Amino acid sequence: MALSAKKLKVGDAHTARLVEDLKRTQIVQYAGASGDYNPLHTDEVFTTKVAGYPSVFAHGMLTMGMTGKMLTDYVGDARLTKYGVRFTNQVWPGDTLDSTATVKEIKDEDGKKIAVFDVSTVNQNGVVVVSGYAEARVDD
């Protein structure tokens, strides 16, 4: 199910919904699995009374992880060679996120075809929460 360089065009885009109405419990799940127990993500008392935020918020890495599913569903298993993001806005419980990969370039590297993508994840207000890139091996 891998992508084919012949069929890909610069500007082609793939979009997927990552999450609807993000639950606090999913943030707790991510804390447990990743080992990042920063109370800013799970401890409402600490986050509102001590840290001064309106509520707990998601780990940036949770959004990067969810965005990774959009990518691997698109490019195929074990095909990513690079993936990087900037965390541009916070993700809050209740947010609904959509993510898009857009083909930026198709290049040859060591005799293999590599597709380069711009990656962007936005919330329900159209605000970009994660912005980055990915590269993946594609078939000829």
Partner 1 sequence: MAAKRFPVEASHILMFARSVGDDNPVYSDEEAAKKTEAGGIIAPPTFAQSSAQFDPDYFLRPKIGQPWFGSGGEPTGVKREPGGGGRGGGGGGGGLHAEQHFEYHRHLKPGDVLTATTQPGKTWERESARAGKLVFSESVTEYRDQKGELVITARGVGVRTERPVDSKA
State the residues that interact with partner 1 by CB under 8 A.
Answer: 2, 18-19, 26, 29-30, 32-39, 43, 45-46, 49-54, 59-62, 64-66, 68-69, 71-73, 76-87, 89-90, 125, 127
* Complex with partner 1: residue 9 or 84, whichever CB lies closer: 84
Residue 25, CB half-sphere, CA atoms under 13 Å: how many? 1
Structural contact between residues 56 and 47, judged by C-beta atoms closer than 8 angstroms: yes
* Complex with partner 1: residue 9 or 39, whichever CB lies closer: 39
* Complex with partner 1: residue 86 or 112, whichever CB lies closer: 86
Paired with 31 in beta bridges are: none
* Complex with partner 1: residue 49 or 112, whichever CB lies closer: 49
User: What span, in angstroms and rounded, lies between the C-alpha atoms of 133 and 124?
Assistant: 21
Structural contact between residues 102 and 82, judged by C-beta atoms closer than 8 angstroms: no
Q: Please, what is the minimum distance in Å from the beta carbon of residue 101 to partner 1?
A: 13
Task: State the distance between the two ends of the chain, measured CA to CA, in whole angstroms.
Answer: 13
Q: Please, what is the minimum distance in Å from the beta carbon of residue 20 to partner 1?
A: 10
Q: Please, what is the minimum distance in Å from the beta carbon of residue 11 to partner 1?
A: 24
Copy the structure tokens of residue 86.
């900037």
Q: Please, what is the minimum distance in Å from the beta carbon of residue 109 to partner 1?
A: 13
User: What span, in angstroms and rounded, lies between the C-alpha atoms of 42 and 26?
Assistant: 10
